[in-house]
Chains A and B, each alone.
Chain A
Amino acid sequence: MATETHQTASACLTPEGGAVGMPQLCPEWMGNQIFWLVVTLAVIFFILSRIALPRIAAILADRQGTITGDLARAEDLKAKAAEAEEAYNKALADARAEAQNIIAATKAEIKAELDEASAKADAEIAARAAEGEKKIAEIRASATESVKEVAEATALELVAVMGIDADAKTVGSAVEAGLKG
């Protein structure tokens, strides 16, 4: 800075162009500084108040809005998720209850069917048993008859072989007595 030579005579400069005392206190230069300061401040104020500050305020407001919006949406989605979960749980409980109902109904139905079937089976079994018994009785009776017939015939033959003349009636009653005895 000080390497330049200053031809202008100034009360604030030495002949070599150095400062005399404090340049801050040189009255010659104050007007210039004040003028340019006022211009500078006016320009900065204009730029700030017209462009920079509204723009930054808008950016910050936008961001705040975005954040608030996002939070609200998140809250909304959370509520929706909770709702969905509730619905799911309700559906699950409903399904479970229905299943329970169906199981109970089916059980009852099956039981009724089973009861019916078993009753029917019992009846059939009873009928079959009765029939069987009857048949057995029949068979037994017929068997006894056959035995008697066979015994009479055999006895008659035996008696005839032994040479005893015996009539069938006597032999028959004797066989009968024997079978009973």
Chain B
Amino acid sequence: MATEAAHGAEHGEGGLVFHPMDQFIVKPLFGDGPVGTFTVTNVTLWMALTVLCVIGLLVLSSSGRATVPGRMQSIAELAYGFIRKMVEDVAGKDALPYFPYIMTLFMFIVVSNFLGLLPLAFTTTSHIAVTAVMAVAVFVAVTVIGFVKHGAGFLGLFWISAAPLPLRPILALIEVISYFVRPVSHSIRLAGNMMAGHAVIKVFAAFTPLITISVGVGILVTPLSIVAISAIYALEVLVAFIQAYVFTILTCVYLKDALHPHH
């Protein structure tokens, strides 16, 4: 993230240069070739790091199998208990077979979000392609589960029998639209949140070298930018967890609709 200042100094002699979106560029890790489907890119690197962190957090930490857990094992147990309880409370006991899938999503998102907060990191979850794949996967899986479990009865999700009869077709239309909007909001919420925070930090970072250009304005703007970066960074730490939580709990809510379509 801090490279922005260097970048500005390099390119714009005497002026501030804003490149808040450069941090999201996908580029090959080795060489300068084109980005093909199987090219090893910075996406690969940060996703691999995510995998390593997940292994460290959940596998290595629990390798002692201590009855009285240490710190790392406590984290693993807390994460396990947190998501398992969420699945059970939100989607019901019959959703527990899907717990490993939901845990996979949660661990990937939460670890990616936090890794993305490291300076110079590439935030995989800030990409709509990544979040959309997960959201669509959830959407398709939930729809398939709904139809497999309830057949045509799954359509009862859209036919609200509690409402007065004349209202039901209108409500059904709204329900169907909102159902199909789910993957869109589900994915854009996560990617948008991650991207926005990181971009804002970059914008403030671009303001910090102002004191080297104009001491008069810079003396005010530079400290303010640094304070703003710190404040937004703190907010982003919160957002990193909350967005992972929101994505996961929404997955559970959608799963609940598939398992229990009758309101």
Contacts and interface: CB of A to CB of B under 8 A. Distances in A.
Interface string B94-114: 000001110111011000000
B9 to A, nearest CB: 11
Given A6-B27, A36-B41, A47-B58, A24 B76 contact: no
A36 B22 contact: no
A10 interface: yes
B71 interface: no
B108 A19 contact: no
Contacts of A96: none
A37 B51 CA distance: 11
B161 interface: no
B11 interface: yes
B243 interface: no
Interface residues of chain B: helix, strand, loop or mixed (majority)? helix
A29 interface: yes
Contact of A58 (B24, B65, B66, B100): B65
Interface in B112-146: 120, 124, 126-130, 133-134
A119 interface: no
Interface residues of B, number: 62
Given A2-B3, A19-B21, A52 B62 contact: yes
B108 A41 contact: yes
A131 B133 CA distance: 135
Interface stretch (A60-68, A105-113, A141-149, A156-164): A60-68
Given A1-B120, A44-B108, A26 B26 contact: yes
Interface stretch (B32-40, B151-159, B244-252): B32-40
A59 B104 contact: no
A70 to B, nearest CB: 11
Nearest to A66: B67
B35 A32 contact: yes
Q: Chain A: interface residue count, which band?
A: 35 or more
A49 B26 contact: no
A18 B202 CA distance: 14
B58 A48 contact: yes
A35 B38 contact: yes
Given A33-B124, A35-B37, A59 B62 contact: yes
A1 B37 contact: no
Nearest to A62: B67
Contact of B47 (A6, A10, A29, A37): A37
A23 B195 CA distance: 10
A45 B51 contact: no
A2 B24 CA distance: 10
A48 B107 contact: yes
Residue of A31, A48, A53 ringed by the most chain B CB atoms within 10 A:
A48
B149 to A, nearest CB: 21
A75 interface: no
B23 interface: yes
Contacts of A28: 34-35
B24 A22 contact: yes
Contacts of B47: 36-37, 39-40
A25 B19 CA distance: 16
A37 B130 contact: yes
Contacts of B39: 32
Nearest to A55: B62
B235 interface: no
Contact of A32 (B19, B36, B126): B36
Interface in B66-109: 66-67, 69, 73, 76-77, 80-81, 99-101, 103-105, 107-108
Interface of A: 1-4, 6-8, 10, 12-13, 16-19, 21-26, 28-41, 43-45, 47-49, 51-53, 55-60, 62-63, 66
